Amino acid sequence: MIESKRLFMKPGRDNKEERENFVKFWANYINSVGDVVWSKQQNVIINSQMHNSREFYRCLNKTEEGRKTLKRLKEQMLKVGKN
């Protein structure tokens, strides 16, 4: 792990500025540490989405009712494609 000087973020005056300040802060953080350090943190967010998505469909597949819902979803999706 690359050691770096601790960075601090300027609070925003409203939600928009707060979000933008965080985006800038995070980008500067990425530039100040090695790829291993930031990617490990980013992966917590991304991998949890992938996990949740898989679990959602896996759980639905477990029951007859869930399988019917999945079938319905698929049919709806194909219908949207046709329209």
**Does residue number 40 form part of the binding site for another protein (CB under 8 A)?**
yes
Nearer to another protein, 6 or 28 (CB): 28
Secondary structure (DSSP) of 50-78: HHHHHHHHHHHHHSHHHHHHHHHHHHHHH
One-letter amino acid identity for 41? Q
CA distance 32 to 2: 9
Is residue 69 part of the contact set for another protein (CB under 8 A)?
A: no
- In the complex, which residues of this chain contact another protein (CB under 8 A)? 16, 19-20, 23-24, 26-28, 30-31, 34-36, 38-43, 45-47, 49-51, 53-54, 57-58, 61, 70, 73, 77-78, 80-82
